[in-house]
């Protein structure tokens, strides 16, 4: 049964003839599969909150307050407007990435390489996704407007060059720019009428000595964050943490930008494999992935 379509067709009304399995029938069914306490099913995948027969169900669109419960989050595919923010500052003494074959490459080269793969793979998943590019230096620069042609963004990426590090990084100007460039959808009831798209910013921050700050307040940031159709992910690329840098403090501040609990805040220290793996993690649609604390990529072999 298409639970979502049923829910949207009649709101929160519970029909009197709607069927619910008698608990005795459930127990008899479970016994057919040799299930007995404490091995009874614990999570129900196709139920509503008023008709569930297990302790837990899988919620859909918790951020939107939807009352239906379905097997997975990704029932509705919404297009993404993706803003890639690339930090172009090169701090003194930046160490390179070392690949398995022994070759060494600067951070900007590896970021371009990882983002190229990200763009091509994201486009292959859904050709309707749109991408924009922002270069982050002393002030953010909107390099390329939204396009569903990833080759245009890749070409713009190739033109980016590292620049001398600045004494500050103003997050206020970055989110002011994003708010000016993006008109977020406004839906009175997204659970019933979902928006046409969601907007996601991926911040690629690469400084180990400069703490990001809101020098002009957080008005734009707060306004964007309050919209349920805006998402912020962060990938922090840094030197090995030590007493000579501020990596730990910077990472704590970046984690603090996740005020909604829906962001992915990832970090990597000059590890090319981990950098590419993290970009792979960011391919997932924000509405089709678990919260970061629940993710696990560990494969175990059943005995």
Cα 148–Cα 207–Cα 269 angle in degrees, nearest 5: 85
pLDDT of residue 45: 46
CA distance 149 to 110: 21
**Residue 63: which residues within 8 A CB-CB, separation 6 or more?**
228, 260, 262, 287
Residuewise pLDDT in 10s, the chain (303 residues) = 344 445 444 444 444 445 566 667 767 776 776 655 555 555 444 444 445 555 544 444 444 444 333 333 344 568 899 999 999 999 998 999 999 899 999 999 999 999 999 999 999 999 999 999 999 998 899 999 999 999 999 999 999 999 998 889 999 999 999 999 999 988 766 666 678 889 999 999 999 999 999 999 999 999 999 998 999 999 999 999 999 999 999 999 999 999 888 899 999 999 999 999 999 999 999 988 888 888 776 766 666
Residue ranges of domains in the chain, CATH in brackets? 3-64 (no CATH), 79-294 (3.40.50.410)
Residue of 44, 62, 64, 61 lying closest to 53 (CA atoms)? 44
* Predicted TM-score of the model (pTM): 0.75
Q: Would you state the pLDDT for residue 68? A: 38
Distance of CA 136 to the CA centre of its chain: 20
Q: What is the pLDDT of residue 69?
A: 33
List the structure tokens of 284: 């997932």
Confidence at residue 54, expressed as pLDDT on a 0 to 100 scale: 55
User: What's the per-residue H, E or C state across the chain?
Assistant: CCHHHHHHHHCCCCCCCCCCCCHHHHHHHHHHCCCCCCCCCCEECCCCCCCCCCCEECECCHHHCCCCECCCCCCCCCEEEEEEEEECEECCCCCCEECCCCCEECHHHHHHHHHHHHHHHHHHHCCCCEEEEEEECCCEEEEEEEECCHHHHHHHHHHCCCEECCCCEEHHHHHHHHHHHCCCCCCCCCCCCCCCEEEEEEEEECCCCCCEECCCCCHHHHHHHHCCCEEEEEEEECCCCCCCCCHHHHHHHHHCCCCCCCCCEEEECCCHHHHHHHHHHCCCCHHHCCCHHHCCCCCCCCC
């Amino acid at each position: 049964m298409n639970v979502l379509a049923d829910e949207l067709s009649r709101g929160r009304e519970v029909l009197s003839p709607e069927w619910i399995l008698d608990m005795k029938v459930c127990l008899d069914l479970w016994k057919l599969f040799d299930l007995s306490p404490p091995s009874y099913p614990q999570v129900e995948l196709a139920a509503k909150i008023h008709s569930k027969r297990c302790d837990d169900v899988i919620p859909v669109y918790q951020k939107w307050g939807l009352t239906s419960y379905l097997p997975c989050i990704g029932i509705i595919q919404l297009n993404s407007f993706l803003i890639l923010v690339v930090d172009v500052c090169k701090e003194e003494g930046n160490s390179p990435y070392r690949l398995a074959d022994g070759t060494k490459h600067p951070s900007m080269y590896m970021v371009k390489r990882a983002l190229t793969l990200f763009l091509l793979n994201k486009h292959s998943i859904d050709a309707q996704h749109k991408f924009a590019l922002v270069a982050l230096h002393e002030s953010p620069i909107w390099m390329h407007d939204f396009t569903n042609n990833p080759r245009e963004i890749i070409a713009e990426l190739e033109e980016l060059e590292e620049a001398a590090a600045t004494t500050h990084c103003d997050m206020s100007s970055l989110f002011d720019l994003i708010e000016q460039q993006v008109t977020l959808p406004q839906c009175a009831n997204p659970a019933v009428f979902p928006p046409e798209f969601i907007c996601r910013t991926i911040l690629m921050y690469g400084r180990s000595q400069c703490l990001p700050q809101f020098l002009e307040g957080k008005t734009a940031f707060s306004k964007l964050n309050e919209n349920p159709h805006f998402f912020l992910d962060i990938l922090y690329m840094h030197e090995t943490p030590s007493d000579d840098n501020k990596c730990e403090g910077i990472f704590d501040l970046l984690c603090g930008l996740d005020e909604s609990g829906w962001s992915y805040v990832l970090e990597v220290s000059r590890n090319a494999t981990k950098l590419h793996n993290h970009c792979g993690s960011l391919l997932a649609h924000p509405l089709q992935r678990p919260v970061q604390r629940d993710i696990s990529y560990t494969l175990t072999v059943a005995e």
